[in-house]
Amino acid sequence: AKYVYDFTEGNRNLKDLLGGKGANLAEMMNLGLPVPPGFTITTEACRHYLTEGALPDGLEREVAEHLDALEAQMGRRLGQADDPLLVSVRSGAKFSMPGMMETVLNIGLNDESVHGLAKQAGGNDRFAWDSYRRLIQMFGKTVLGLDGDLFEHALDELKGRRQDTDLDAGELQGLVETYKGIVRAQTGKDFPADPREQMRLAVMAVFDSWNAPRAILYRRQERIPADLGTAVNIVAMVFGNVGNDSGTGVAFTRDPGSGQQGIYGDYLQNAQGEDVVAGIRNTIPLQELERIDKRSYDELLQIMETLENHYRDLCDIEFTIERGKLWMLQTRVGKRTAAAAFRIATQLVDQGLITLDEAVTRVTGDQLAQLMFPRFDGGAEKKKIAKGMNASPGAAVGKVVFSSERAVELAGRGEDVILVRRETNPDDLAGMIAARGILTSRGGKTSHAAVVARGMGKTCVCGAEELEVSTSERRFTTPGGEVVSEGDVISIDGSTGEVYLGEVPVVDSAVVEYFEGSRPDDDLVRAVDRILGHADSARRLLVRANADTPEDAARARRFGAQGIGLCRTEHMFLGERRQLVEDLVLADGEEERQAALDALEPLQKSDFIGIFKAMGGDPVTIRLIDPPLHEFLPDLVDLSVKVATSPDVTDKDRRLLAAVKRLHEANPMLGLRGVRLGLVIPGLFAMQVRAIAQAAAEVPGARPEIMIPLVAAVQELESVREEASRILAETGVEALIGTMIEVPRAALTAAQIAEAAQFFSFGTNDLTQMTWGFSRDDVEAAFFSRYLELGIFGVSPFETLDRDGVGRLIRIAVEEGRAARPDLHVGICGEHGGDPDSVHFCHEVGLDYVSCSPFRIPVARLEAGRAAL
């Protein structure tokens, strides 16, 4: 195998092999942009190293050959004493994992070559020693695994109240000695002076960093497969820390927060790359580079335009200026907020760079769902205590915590928390995941907190510099003098950057208002409207709603539902009607039972009338009553206590207790529910069907569909169907009669069941429960986190449909059901109907529709469109 590619050999389509960074460096090289020369070690080499525990045969020879070529091209050898070539060793996986893996800069420096470097830079000793101390610091931390604080503290002690740029050559030389002492004390060995050895160790450290705990956590969060491995890029060093005519920065071709066009980025003079992200010194806005170095600035803008036109998308960029010469160190299609994604997609259509079809594929259902989150009520009274940068939008309210551990702890107890830090680093990842929002007092829109929060869709305000954050005292102080301590509640607005004391009430987002029928004049709403409209015209799947009240039905319709796919009838038996259900259960003989049913029937009828009216002429699938009867009866313990202790126990109480005991089940979800209930309690289903038929007869255009739950055998369905057909015939109302497929046996005998069913609707909640044997109400809390950790699945099968198992049953049922009855109508009504990946699956297996809760309807519409394109 070939394990090493020169930048001139790669291109952007080779991300699997070269990682995102390597592939895009090669692409920029091909575009003729100023990229320092270098080469990439493939992800395949990493995978080999991680599984076999050793570098693959031939890799070291290939690396040596490429290094020889690089040295020849540069006219200097790695670490050459009088004129050294230095390199950086940079991680870069297929998917960007910001800050999660390692990078080592300035490889090739030692006690001799440091002088050569100073000479190269025109006698700049300060720069050379600064680079050398950076090497030992990064190498010590990432390659030798030493505690980074050891170095940080030594640096802080030396600096005192000064900035790192105030240290002179002599001081930095002294710092190098201190650092070498730390390495010796901690490892018992000297810092390795041999440049090639430094490089070899750094490469292995980058490979190893694929499995660093924070990288594992990040991958799980972002659903990145665990076995991809990272590539390693070896790049000739260019230096941003030579002096004030040098520097380093990051830039976006558009605002990744809002999507607005313009110049967005941060620049740091006299610094190396890691300083920007780490927030060591405060950066300046990129626009100010124009004043400092107009030539480089103009060239950068030119390059940004080239990259946008080439990638036809927002790009983010890392660059370095070395003594007035601009170098590109990285580019990629940049992460962005949900709002930016929609705006940018339509801007690119208007610019003629992409088609509307492509625009639909550039946004996701998850992003649309984010735009539907509530925002703070503009009219509410609020106490603003600070303003930072609007790094990642949303409205978050929670208790303040100052460490990742506390965030995880409190969130584990169900509390909403806001993680407050001066700045975050990759070790804060667990806390960022646990928190509702993140607030930092340092760092810009490209800081770690901002980048990671945007990627996760988590609300973030960063760089609120007026706040004095003291992590050790677990509090922060506002310019107004308020002290906010751990546990106090604050509200942060990631769309404006504002921070409020206390809880601020939230209201609907503009996008939800738009779905509700108002037409706010807002460019985001226009972008959503355009993209969703195009998705609608592209999709094959119909989208229906799970709704069981007229209000929900009406909202679902406003959100674009084309019918109701699941109207559960259980809730219609609660509240005041509980009494009637009790009467039904206690009924002694035919007459009493019928009386109880007769009392329920008009109530049910009016329920259905309301829903039919709300849905106009769209189909409404009504599911006959499903869950176990005891859910409608009093609690066994409560009732036992009452009967045993209360002075005024009635005879009814005693009979009720006997019934509750009789009906008590060890495994209710596998017990007397669904069709079984209908078969056991004579007249119950008939009453519901009559109510449906009479309601339909009163609402012109009503299109009822009757759905029987939990069927496992065609015989169950047959007997219910016969009775229902008879009642429909009596009332002269037409309605399809079909069944849910939610028991594995039903899927496996779909051909038989289709003989008696005009439609199938997959109840994937129960189907998942019964296929895995997972109690849907218990397992997520009990052990799913362990299962996720073990990688048994990457995401809960109750959230995203398990294609291999549950999905296989669905395929069988669709195929065999349709073979038996070609016009069989097939949909899904489990929670998966609103999950993006599951919607794609439903499209692939040829379902006719998905049905989901009203708020997921727009998501399902968009994803159904994306699946079809």
Shortest Cβ 769–ligand PEP spacing (Å): 7
Give whichever of 568 and 593 is closer to ligand PEP, judged by the CB atom.
568
**Which CB contacts under 8 angstroms, 24+ apart, belong to 302-306?**
303/33, 303/328, 304/251, 304/253, 305/253, 306/31, 306/33
CB neighbour class for 477 (10 Å; exposed up to 12, middle 13-18, buried from 19): middle
The site string for ligand PEP over 170-209 (x = CB under 6 A, - otherwise) reads ----------------------------------------
Angle between helices 636-645 and 651-663 (to 10 degrees): 150
Look-up of token digits 């909640």: 765
- Report 291-320 residues binding Mg ion (CB under 5 A): none
Task: State the number of binding residues for ligand PEP (CB under 6 A).
Answer: 10
Nearer to Mg ion, 530 or 776 (CB): 776
| Region from 251-259, 646-654, 756-764, 770-778 binding Mg ion, contact rule CB under 5 A | 756-764
Residue 765 found at the interface with ligand PEP (CB under 6 A)? yes
Partner touching 802 among ligand PEP, Mg ion, none, CB below 5 to 8 Å by kind: none
Is 310 an annotated catalytic residue?
Answer: no
566 binds, among Mg ion, ligand PEP, none (CB under 5 to 8 A by kind): ligand PEP
Asked if residue 803 lies in contact with residue 767, where contact means CB atoms within 8 angstroms, the answer is no
Measured from the Cβ of residue 868, the count of other Cβ atoms closer than 10 Å reads: 16
Q: Which residue in 259, 628, 744, 763 binds ligand PEP (CB under 6 A)?
A: 763
- Residue 238: CB atoms within 10 Å: 24
Q: Which two tokens stand for residue 10?
A: 């790669």
Per-residue DSSP letter, 473 = T
Q: Nearer to ligand PEP by C-beta: 36 or 744?
A: 744
CB of 501 to ligand PEP, least distance (A): 41
For 758-846, strand residue ranges (E) read 759-762, 825-828
Tally DSSP H helices, then E strands, for the chain: 35, 31
Residue 766 interacting with Mg ion (CB under 5 A) = yes
Task: Please say which residue, 587 or 670, places its beta carbon nearer to ligand PEP.
Answer: 670
Amino acid letter at 209?
A: S
| Residue range at the interface with Mg ion (CB under 5 A); choices 186-194, 266-274, 452-460, 734-742 | 734-742
Q: How many residues does the chain have?
A: 869
14, 27 Cβ separation under 8 angstroms: no
* Alpha-carbon distance values, 27 to 231, 306, 331, 834 (Å): 16, 12, 9, 38
Residues 715-754 that bind ligand PEP (CB under 6 A): 742
Tokens of 755: 């003989």
Return the number of the residue (117 or 767) whose C-beta is nearest Mg ion. Answer: 767
Residue 140 touches Mg ion, criterion: CB under 5 A: no
Q: Rule CB under 6 A: say whether 766 interacts with ligand PEP.
A: yes
> Residue 550 or 668: which CB sits closer to ligand PEP?
668
Does the protein bind Mg ion through residue 833 (CB under 5 A)?
no
Find the helix packing angle between 125-138 and 169-187, rounded to 10°.
Answer: 20
- Whichever of 243 and 827 has its CB closer to ligand PEP, that residue is 827
Which region, judged by CB under 6 A, interacts with ligand PEP, from 94-102, 467-475, 528-536, 761-769? 761-769
Task: Report whether 743 contacts 711 (CB < 8 A).
Answer: yes
In the numeric block, the tokens 């990285």 are attached to: 330
Q: How far apart are alpha carbons 544 and 526 in whole angstroms?
A: 24
Among 829, 840, 843, 852, the one annotated catalytic: 829
Cβ proximity to ligand PEP, 2 vs 571, nearer residue:
571
Q: Which of residues 797-836 bind ligand PEP (CB under 6 A)?
A: 829-830
Q: Where are the alpha helices (DSSP H) in 441-547?
A: 448-456, 510-515, 523-538
CB-neighbour burial class of residue 28 (10 A; exposed 0-12, middle 13-18, buried 19+): buried
Q: Which of 247, 265, 763, 834 binds Mg ion (CB under 5 A)?
A: 763
| Smallest separation (angstroms) from ligand PEP to the CB of 566 | 6
| 568 interface partner picked from Mg ion, ligand PEP, none, CB below 5 to 8 A per type | ligand PEP
Choosing from 90, 214, 475, 568, the residue that interacts with ligand PEP (CB under 6 A) is 568
Could you say which of 46, 48, 315, 448 is catalytic? 448
Helix (H) or strand (E) holding 747: helix 744-748
Pull the structure tokens for residue 588.
């002694």
Work out whether 707 is an interface residue with ligand PEP (CB under 6 A): no
Smallest distance from the beta carbon of 741 to Mg ion, in angstroms?
10
Sign of CA dihedral 68, 71, 75, 77: negative
Binding mask 603-642 for ligand PEP (x = CB under 6 A): -----------------------x----------------
Among 478, 569, 764, 838, binds ligand PEP (CB under 6 A): 764
How far is it, in rounded angstroms, from Cα 26 to Cα 8? 6
> Which residue number, 407 or 624, has a Cβ lying nearer to Mg ion?
624
The Cα 496–Cα 445 span in angstroms is 13
Strands 417-421 and 475-477, bridge-based pairing: unpaired
Q: Are 745 and 715 in contact (CB under 8 A)?
A: no
Q: How many CA atoms lie within 13 A of 413 on its CB side?
A: 8
- Closest approach of Mg ion to the CB of residue 223, in Å: 27
Task: Indicate the residue among 618 and 766 with the shorter CB distance to Mg ion.
Answer: 766
- Structure-token pair, residue 155: 């640096």
The alpha helices in 445-522, defined as continuous H runs, are 448-456, 510-515
Q: Considering beta carbons, is residue 26 or 757 the nearer one to Mg ion?
A: 757
Sign of CA dihedral 338, 341, 347, 349: negative
Q: Which does 428 bind (CB under 5 to 8 A by kind): Mg ion, ligand PEP, none?
A: none
Give the one entry of ligand PEP, Mg ion, none that residue 829 binds, where binding means its C-beta sits below a cut-off of 5 to 8 angstroms depending on kind.
Answer: ligand PEP
- Of Mg ion, ligand PEP, none, which one does residue 840 interact with (CB within 5 to 8 Å by kind)? none
| Binding partner selected for residue 830 from Mg ion, ligand PEP, none, CB under the kind-specific 5 to 8 Å limit | ligand PEP
Find the binding residues for ligand PEP in span 134-153 (CB under 6 A).
none
Closest distance to Mg ion from the beta carbon of 829 (Å): 8
Q: By CB under 6 A, which span of 128-136, 144-152, 699-707, 762-770 interacts with ligand PEP?
A: 762-770
The contacts of residue 588 (CB under 8 Å, 6+ apart) are none
Neighbour order of strands in the sheet with 475-477: 468-470, 475-477, 483-485
| Candidates 239-247, 325-333, 711-719, 763-771; binding stretch for ligand PEP (CB under 6 A) | 763-771
Q: Catalytic residue at 829? A: yes
Q: Is 566 in the site for ligand PEP (CB under 6 A)?
A: yes
230 binds ligand PEP (CB under 6 A): no
User: Six-digit token pair at 494?
Assistant: 């990631």
Binding site for ligand PEP (CB under 6 A): 566, 568, 626, 742, 763-766, 829-830
Catalytic residues: 448, 829
Binding site for Mg ion (CB under 5 A): 742, 763, 766
